[in-house]
């Protein structure tokens, strides 16, 4: 009577990838799904979703993503189109380009930071 499409395996899991503590990856990661990193990445990361770097996680390389929460260590260049949340225990060294930035007290944020203007707000100000 009702035809329901069967959900894929990744839909059921919420489309979140995980790299656990004690794992080191050398190379680049490209993913459309959200990602949680509690291990180490030596290389670049690109995602259409969100990356969470846990307290034990570290990245040495470049990151391009939609949203990011960093609680561990990051060294390199990061470009976040929406919101970057830097937690109190985070250590960030490098270049940061974001739409919005949130830094908790206690974070080691040693980076040059560029805030991108919101395209919607820019169009409203121009009368479009």
How much is the average pLDDT of 59-69? 96
* CB 75 within 8 Å of CB 59: yes
Higher-confidence position of 127 and 99: 99
Helix (H) or strand (E) holding 13: helix 9-13
pLDDT at 12: 42
d(CA 77, CA 83): 15
pLDDT digits (tens, 9 = 90+) for 81-94: 999 999 999 999 99
Nearest C-alpha neighbor of 106 from the set 128, 81, 89:
89
Q: Is the pLDDT of residue 22 over 50?
A: yes
Percent pLDDT > 90 in the chain is: 73
Higher-confidence position of 105 and 1: 105
3-state secondary structure 46-67: EECCEEEECCCCEEEEEEEECE
pLDDT digits (tens, 9 = 90+) for 25-58: 999 999 988 999 999 999 999 999 999 999 999 9
pLDDT at 99: 95
Q: How many other CB atoms are found less than 10 A from the CB of residue 19?
A: 19
pTM: 0.80
d(CA 51, CA 65): 7
Q: How many other CB atoms are found less than 10 A from the CB of residue 113?
A: 14
């Amino acid at each position: 009577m009702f035809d329901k499409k069967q959900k894929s395996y990744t839909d059921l899991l919420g489309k979140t990838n995980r790299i656990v503590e004690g794992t080191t990856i050398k190379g680049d990661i490209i993913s459309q799904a959200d990602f949680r990193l509690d291990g180490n990445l030596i290389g670049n990361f690109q995602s259409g979703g969100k990356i969470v770097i846990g307290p034990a996680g570290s990245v040495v390389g470049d990151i391009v993503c939609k949203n990011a929460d960093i609680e561990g260590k990051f060294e390199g260049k990061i470009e976040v189109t929406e919101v970057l949340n830097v937690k109190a225990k985070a250590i960030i060294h490098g270049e940061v380009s974001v739409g919005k930035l949130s830094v908790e007290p206690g974070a080691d944020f040693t980076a040059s930071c560029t805030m991108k203007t919101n395209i919607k707000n820019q169009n409203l100000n121009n009368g479009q």
